[in-house]
Structure formats: structure tokens, C-alpha cells
Amino acid sequence: MLASTRRAALGRAAPSRLLLRPFSTAPARAPAPLPPSVVAAHERASAAGERTYKDPETGLTVFTAFAHAQRGVCCGARCRHCCYGHENVGAPRRARRAAAAAAAPRARPPRESRVYTRSGDRGSARLVGEHEAILPKFSAVFEAVGDVDELGVKLGVAAFHTPAAAPGAPDVKARLLRTQALLLDAGAALTVLEGQKGTYASAARDAFDDDEIADLEREVDALDAALPPLRNFVVATGPLACLALHDARVVCRRAERHVWKRVAELDAGERSRVESVARFLNRLSDFLFVAARGAAAQDVVYDVSANVRRKRREKGRGDDE
């Protein structure tokens, strides 16, 4: 059948409602008889020795039997006026593909991917790209990586409990989810050695530039501007969102401490990448603190000076008694 004018010009049968039929792997049925107008048009063109004629039903150009005879061989394209009995017409395409697939050898089963490698069963591991040094798993770098991993989970819990932002207010949930992804880059920055190449190494170098930290600072300022001034310590309590944000904050502080410990172990040329992670964590802990205050129904504060005065009064009464 013809699918376009170009295919029609090559002599394939023009599309018509009489010729269209469902495609099947079964042997093709004989085509339906052509309309009398088409038969007459073909006969006139053939008698005049013309190579083509215009199908009156579709308006497409079709090769005549005279043109096919000049070709000298059946092209196998199921042409409408084939004068060779369609001798080179093979099975339908779908049937050919099925036969080829059945004859092809079976593909090998995919290789199993194991979660465990047993390489760390003795309490040591290597950094990315390292083939020599083996570090104990309690080293500062792995402590930092573990804390960053834990922090990512804490942020996910906090994001789950954090409600959607009010119109015009900073979107705390969006920042938490974005930071979860950034913490994966932080893991790369902590474990990729200087000079490594590839996507993982690029993430390690480019994740925590000055612009990223500046964006976080602007969000901290916007959250803090909407809160009343704080002059006392805050007790972590209140809704689940507030508690989850405080929980993430203390893990963030621990992660920052271990990252700075890792910085102290590095040479001067390798420090900048890891220092940027520590600075980001420092700003992130501030963000989590003000976000927790915003999520609290009301700040529960601990006034140190008032507590000292209270204890002195109680002690004085005890002495009098």
C-alpha cells in the first residue's frame, strides 16, 4: 500500500479503503478488486505506453504494468500492477522480525548486582580513586560521610512534616529537599581525591560554591526577619515539624565538626573543597534553627538569669528554715 506520494511514485499500491486491511503474520489475502475507474485509468495509460497514471480515487501517481515490465524484475514491494506475479514478495515485516528473533541466540542473563562486597569486613575502606591507602572506618573522613548521610535522612523526615509555604514566604520544604540532593555532592567532596576526573569528581568540586552559600544566607535572613527577637535559649518542643528540624540541626552541627576534623588532616591543596562543605553545613544549621522557630507554635525559652535568681531565692528560704 502507498503511505505517501513518494511511495506512490515508486509503484506501490495507493492507499484506499478497498486495499487497507489489518496487518497480520498470516499469509496476505489477495487484494480486493480495484474500482472500475482505476482499472480504466490504468488500461488507458498502458495502451498509450505511459509509465504512470493518476489514481482517480486517491489522486496519487502509480506506476503502470508497462513501467514494471521495463524494470525487468519483481522488486518485492507489493506493487499494484506487478507483472511478475509478486514473485519476490516475502512474508510480512512482523513475521520476518519474529522469525529472526526466534533464530537469534538467547541473550545472556544480566549480571547480578550485589549490595555487599565483603571488602570492608575487616573495618577498613578506601576512598574513591584510592588504590593504596586503606583507612579504618572510624577515621574522620568516614565519620563525616556518615554524619552527612544521616543528616540527609533527617532532612527528609523534616520535609515530610513541614507544611507548604505561605504565599511570599520562604519555601522551607523546597530548601530541605534541595539540600538532600546537595548532601550527596557533599559525600563526593569528602571522598573524592584531588585530581580525580568524571561526573562524581565534578560534583565534588562544583557543589558548594560561594553562590550556593549566599543563597542559603538570604533564606536564613528572610526566615529570621519574620520572627520576634530571641534573647534566651530555645527548648526544642512543639509540633513534629519543629522537632524534626531541631533534630536535623543537631546532626548538622555534628557533621560540621567531623568535616572540620577532616580538613585538619588534609594538605593545603586539598582543603578548599572540604572547607566549602563545612561552611555550607554551618549556614545550614542556622537555617534549620530559624526554620524550627518558625515551625513552633510559640518559642519555649530557657532564661538562664531568671533560673539563677529562682535557685537563689529557693536556697535562701531553705537556709531560713
Residue 254: what pLDDT? 97
Together in a domain, 35 and 156: no
How many domains, the chain?
Answer: 2
What residue ranges in the chain does DSSP mark as E strands?
52-54, 61-63, 124-125, 135-136, 233-234, 301-302
What is the separation, in whole angstroms, between the first and last Cα of the chain? 112
Per-residue pLDDT band for 1 (boundaries 50, 70, 90) equals: very low
Residue 282 CA, distance from chain mean position: 28
Percentage of residues in the chain having pLDDT higher than 70: 71
Query: Is 112 domain-assigned?
Result: no
Provide the domain limits for residue 235: 124-308
196 shares a domain with 51: no
pTM (whole model) above 0.85: no
Alpha-carbon distances, residue 176 vs 64, 87, 171, 245, 251 (angstroms): 71, 69, 9, 10, 14
Are 191 and 277 part of one and the same domain?
A: yes
pLDDT at 278 over 90: yes
The reply to whether 130 and 86 lie within a common domain is no
Crossing angle for the helix pair 172-191 and 199-206, to the nearest 10 degrees: 120
Mean pLDDT of 204-214: 77
11: left (phi over 0), alpha (psi -120 to 50) or beta: left
Whole-number Å distance between alpha carbons of 294 and 228: 10
On whether both 265 and 303 belong to a single domain, the answer is: yes
Q: What is the pLDDT of residue 303?
A: 59
Q: Which residues 6+ apart lie within 8 Å of 101 measured at CB?
A: none
94, 113, 133 - which closes a domain: 94
Instruction: Please tell me the distance from the alpha carbon of residue 277 to that of residue 202, in angstroms, as a whole number.
Output: 14
The angle formed by the CA atoms of residues 258, 259 and 262, to the nearest 5 degrees, is 90
Q: Domain for residue 318, yes or no?
A: no
**CA 259 to chain CA centroid, nearest Å:** 28
My answer on whether 86 and 171 are in the same domain is no
The per-residue pLDDT for 89 is 76
Distance CA 184, CA 193 (A): 16
Query: In terms of domains, do 223 and 299 share one?
Result: yes
Residues 68-104 pLDDT 10s: 888 778 887 778 888 887 777 766 666 666 766 776 6
Residue 210 has pLDDT above 50, yes or no: yes
- Averaged pLDDT of the chain: 78
Confidence band, pLDDT 50/70/90 cuts, at residue 23:
very low
Please tell me whether residues 86 and 128 are part of one structural domain: no
Alpha helices in 104-171 (DSSP H): 140-161
Please report the pLDDT score of residue 302 as a whole number.
62
Q: Does pLDDT of 58 surpass 80?
A: yes
Task: Please compute the mean of the pLDDT values over residues 164-185 and round it to a whole number.
Answer: 89
CB of 194 closer than 8 Å to CB of 270: yes
CATH number where 224 lies = 1.20.1200.10
Segment 297-315, tens digit of pLDDT: 665 656 566 666 777 777 7
Decide: helix, strand or coil at residue 50.
Answer: coil
The better pLDDT of the pair 206, 269 is held by 269
The mean per-residue pLDDT over the stretch 193-217 comes to: 72
